[in-house]
Amino acid sequence: MKLKTIILLLSVLAVISQGCQTLEPGDPTVYYLRGLELHEQKKYQRAIRDFDRAIEIDPNYTLAYLYRGDAYHELKRYKQAIRDYGRGLELNPNNPLAYHNRGLAYNHLEQYKRALQEFDRVIELNPNMAFAYFSRGMTYEQLEQYKRALQDYDRAIELDPNFDPANLNRFLGISKLEDNRRGTQDLERALELDTSSDLPRFLMKFDQADLDKNQRALKKFERALELDPNDPHAYLERGIFHINDYQYQRALHDLNRAIELDPNFALAYHNRGLAYNGLKQYQRALQDLNRAIELDPNNHRAYINRGNAYIGLKQYKRALQDLNRVLELDPNNTRAYLNRGKAYNGLKQYQRAIREFKRVLEFDPNSFEEEMDRFLADLSIHHAKQCRVWSQACQSNQGKWCKTRLKNC
């Protein structure tokens, strides 16, 4: 995200406590905000009608074009989506997300070379956008250019080590190149990550391709267990694969077996704690994460996830102790800032919570878009009070958190 955009977004937070302006019926923002609400409800046809009206009133309403394009995208009307993304880019030629989404639309039309051009442009505008490298890597895979795909997955992971989809796809790509040793290392890295967060919204556009790849990965785990049914690492890998798929009970079955085979397996306790967190069984999660930290005191992810368990138990001060420890060791850990914001929110220290949210914005809002959405919804003082100001602030950012702030005006 460019510095100018961050400054604009942060300046908007300063007006959070001011009064809300009344919108006139002829104001395009009225139709735009209602369109966002309908879009959120997956009522895309009705959302398109409201965006149509907003554009009729204001033919230069950039975000109305972009979200109408997104609605067309969801309806699989990719050519119309491309048209709207193009119009949005005419009005704001430096919007990397618009290029990115247009690239996804070209992918669906199997126009992969055009898609690559779009992702190249995204990276030119923002060379630190991890998911742009991931999307370009996916496109290279479609073209069977696996080495280039791996280079992009490497870069995505370098920019965001917690970007688990890139780790998984790198594993699958390496398998195609038959470098199984490195593939296993990358898969283990993917499986060690905190997988409690929702995937970024754009990944949903690759759902079928991901499903096919996941099935191949699952068969690989099953084959490993056929060869050695007493390998705790194989159960760990398959268990966290199930966590990635939100199948927590299946994950518990595998992780229980891993611990049975190796009672001192720190990663198995850590990830069983993740599964219990996913099931909201926070007391059990806490027990496993305590054991994981006892076995491996240097695993800062275990402290982050124990902090999550404490937040689930409303033991916010204990959560802060764990998260503060992580940030002392790793001051750029975005997830720790996000979770610390949740803890401050639980303590009703709202200004401190917003401060943590600002830090997430500065580092990387895109990888935690869905979680920020929920975080902001929980903030008692989060509602934007000047809808017009928010609409202007979001002209250069169409992230979901921005949409949520606007629709709640």
Give every CB contact of residue 160 below 8 A, 6+ residues apart in sequence.
130, 166, 364, 367
Average pLDDT, the chain: 75
- Asked whether residue 111 is assigned to any structural domain, the reply reads yes
Contact yes or no for 156/131 (Cβ under 8 A): yes
> Dihedral through CA 319, CA 321, CA 327, CA 330, nearest 10?
-100
Report residue 138 as tokens: 């996916």
Q: Report the pLDDT value the prediction gives residue 377, as an integer from 0 to 100.
A: 52
Residue 203's nearest CA partner among 214, 187, 194 is 214
Average pLDDT, integer, range 327-355: 86
**Residue 348 falls inside a structural domain:** no
Tell me how far apart the alpha carbons of residues 152 and 92 are, in angstroms, rounded to a whole number.
Answer: 27
**Structural domain includes residue 223:** no
Q: Which residue has the higher pLDDT, 246 or 87?
A: 87
pTM for this one? 0.47
The tens digit of pLDDT for each residue in 48-82 reads: 999 999 999 999 999 999 999 999 999 989 999 99
Q: Taking residues 201-226, report their average pLDDT.
A: 55
Q: Has residue 264 got a pLDDT over 80? A: yes
Sign (positive/negative) of CA torsion 304, 305, 309, 311?
positive
- Within-domain flag for 19: yes
Reported as a pLDDT band with limits 50, 70 and 90, residue 183 is very low
179-193, 304-318, 322-336 — which one is most confidently predicted on average? Answer: 304-318
Asked if 370 and 22 count as a contact pair (C-beta separation under 8 A), the reply is no
Residue 401 lies in a domain: yes
Name residue, tokens 């001192």. Answer: 264
Residue 244 placed within a domain: no
Helices 44-57 and 62-74 cross at an angle (nearest 10°) of 160
What's the pLDDT tens digit per position in 343-359?
998 998 888 887 887 77
pLDDT above 70 as % of the chain: 67
The DSSP code for 388 is H
CATH code, domain carrying 52: 1.25.40.10
- Residue 179 predicted with pLDDT over 90: no
Full residue range of the structural domain in which residue 391 is found: 1-130+371-409
Give the separation between CA 129 and CA 118, rounded to whole angstroms: 13
Q: What is the mean pLDDT of residues 79-95?
A: 94
Look at the block and give the residue holding tokens 């890139």: 166
Most confident residue range from 38-47, 196-205, 331-340: 38-47
Q: Sorting pLDDT into bands at 50, 70 and 90, what band is 237?
A: confident
- Distance, CA of 374 to CA of 407 (rounded, Å): 14
**Do residues 13 and 25 lie in contact, with contact meaning Cβ atoms separated by under 8 Å?**
no
Structure tokens at 210: 């991901």
- The stretch 166-170 carries a mean pLDDT of 47
Q: Which two tokens stand for residue 289?
A: 């994460």
* Position 138 in a domain: no
Share of the chain above pLDDT 90, in %: 37
**383: phi then psi, degrees, rounded to nearest 5:** -65, 130
In degrees, rounded to 5, the angle at the alpha carbon of residue 146 between the alpha carbons of residues 142 and 148 is 100
pLDDT in the model for residue 170:
47
Domain-located, residue 274: no
The structural domain count of the chain equals 1
CA 163 → CA 86, 106, 200, 333, distances in Å? 29, 24, 10, 13
Instruction: Return the number of other C-beta atoms located less than 10 Å from residue 387's C-beta.
Output: 22
